[in-house]
Amino acid sequence: MKKVLITRKLIKSSEEFASKIFDVKLNHSDEILTNDELILKSKDCDGILTSITDKLDSNIIFKLSDKIKIISNFAVGFGNIDIQAATKKNIVVTNTPDVLTDATAEITILILLAATRRAKEGIDWVEKKNWKWAANFLMGKQLTGSRLGILGMGRIGRAVADRARAFKMKIHYHNRSRLNKNLEKDAVYHSSLQSLLSVSDFFSINCPATPNTKNIINSKTIKYLPNGAVIVNSARGDMIDDDSMVDALKSGKIFALGLDVYNGEPDIHSDYLTLPNVFVLPHLGSSTIKTRTAMANLAIQNMLDFFKTGETKNKVN
């Protein structure tokens, strides 16, 4: 029986599933393992089931036991793992695509609506108990008939587009390559980010995290957006340069910002907590019972397939 380390606590049914097929080391406290703890605890293991909170850079990977042959990441993204280092050490890395598409798209629409309709300010007024209705009270923007720019038209980006169409939004997108017509539907393709930004009344970040996407929304790119645009991010926090975004929010260049992810989670830029036009959630994108169970079971299945056949369909390196 193969031995695996599961670095963070999973839903009980998933831990029971893993325990039936592997000799499992569980993290009952659910505390994030230090680098030294991860290296030590995995020393006699054949594989590691990691979480997005585990940062496996090249220094850690090269210190892992040669016995480890697979790192199964409990996430669709894998920016927390140095893929090149893993490949050099002959470690297969897998992820959990598809199963979190709908849940993440739903949270994207939530933060889009909340930012656009000034939900944070509305909640504050309710708590004060002294608000009075007026014709111009907390006026937000309307999604209906507006242009939504989507950066990254993969599974999640397309799911966001489908939901936005219910609001009769006009979909524009920028991707590494243009989609075929069946996937594109009525969306308008833009070959450059600048072109997409220039028509985006609302802008949703849904692309994978890569070195090229870090701080892709910055003081230069923000200038291309229409004045009073709304930005939402449900992908990865490091795609936004926080200082530039704060300046744009304060100046009114950006009407509002909705975040489910942000730099340095759980730490956050202090201005995001005080600015009234920022709506933030604590990375809830995939946080439904159905989705988190499916993600964990797929991460476990990825390891099982690999140990049985040497192959797995969700390999990323």
Task: Read off the pLDDT of residues 266-305 as tens digits, 9 standing for 90 and up.
Answer: 999 999 999 999 999 999 999 999 999 999 999 999 999 9
- pTM score: 0.90
pLDDT at 148: 98
Task: Read off the pLDDT of residues 202-246 as tens digits, 9 standing for 90 and up.
Answer: 999 999 888 899 999 999 999 999 999 999 999 999 999 999 999
CA distance 64 to 133: 61
Q: What is the 3-state secondary structure (H, E, C) of 98-137?
A: CCCHHHHHHHHHHHHHHHHCCHHHHHHHHHHCCCCCCCCC
Contact predicate 4/49, CB 8 Å = yes
In the chain, the amino acid numbered 135 is A
Q: Read off the pLDDT of each residue in 175-195 and give the average, rounded to a whole number.
A: 97
Q: Read off the pLDDT of each residue in 11-31 and give the average, rounded to a whole number.
A: 96
The DSSP secondary structure of 1-18, one letter per residue, reads: --EEEE-S---HHHHHHH
Write down the catalytic residue from 190, 236, 269, 292: 236
* Block residue for tokens 């701080």: 215
Task: Read off the pLDDT of residues 82-92 as tens digits, 9 standing for 90 and up.
Answer: 999 999 999 99
* Whole-angstrom Cα Rg for the chain: 21
Contact predicate 143/164, CB 8 Å = yes
Q: Find all residues with CB under 8 Å of 87, minimum gap 6, and list them.
A: 317
Q: Read off the pLDDT of each residue in 154-172 and give the average, rounded to a whole number.
A: 97
Task: Determine whether 283 is an active site residue.
Answer: yes
pLDDT at 95: 96
Q: Report CA-CA distances (Å) from 220 to 150, 240, 254, 295, 315.
A: 18, 12, 13, 37, 36
Task: Determine whether 265 is an active site residue.
Answer: yes
Q: Report CA-CA distances (Å) from 295 to 11, 20, 95, 167, 233.
A: 10, 18, 9, 29, 21
Domains of the chain, first to last: 3-99+288-309 (3.40.50.720), 101-280 (3.40.50.720)
pLDDT at 35: 96
pLDDT at 93: 98
CA distance 86 to 108: 32
Angle between helices 101-116 and 119-128 (to 10 degrees): 60
CA distance 99 to 197: 29
Task: Read off the pLDDT of residues 50-74 as tens digits, 9 standing for 90 and up.
Answer: 999 999 999 999 999 999 999 999 9
Task: Determine whether 190 is an active site residue.
Answer: no
pLDDT at 118: 98
Q: Find all residues with CB under 8 Å of 46, minimum gap 6, and list them.
A: 2, 3, 4, 67, 68, 69, 70, 307
Q: Report CA-CA distances (Å) from 172 to 158, 212, 279.
A: 11, 21, 23
pLDDT at 126: 96
In the predicted model, is pLDDT for residue 142 greater than 90? yes
In the predicted model, is pLDDT for residue 77 greater than 90? no
In the chain, the amino acid numbered 172 is H
The DSSP secondary structure of 209-274, one letter per residue, reads: P-TTTTT-BSHHHHTTSPTTEEEEE-S-GGGB-HHHHHHHHHHTSEEEEEES--TTTTS--HHHHH
pLDDT at 208: 87
Q: Find all residues with CB under 8 Å of 308, minimum gap 6, and list them.
A: none
Of the candidates 231, 209, 243, the one whose C-alpha atom is nearest the C-alpha of residue 279 is 231
Residue 239's Cβ-count burial label (10 Å; 0-12, 13-18, 19+) is buried
Write down the catalytic residue from 8, 118, 283, 292: 283
Write down the catalytic residue from 265, 269, 292, 311: 265
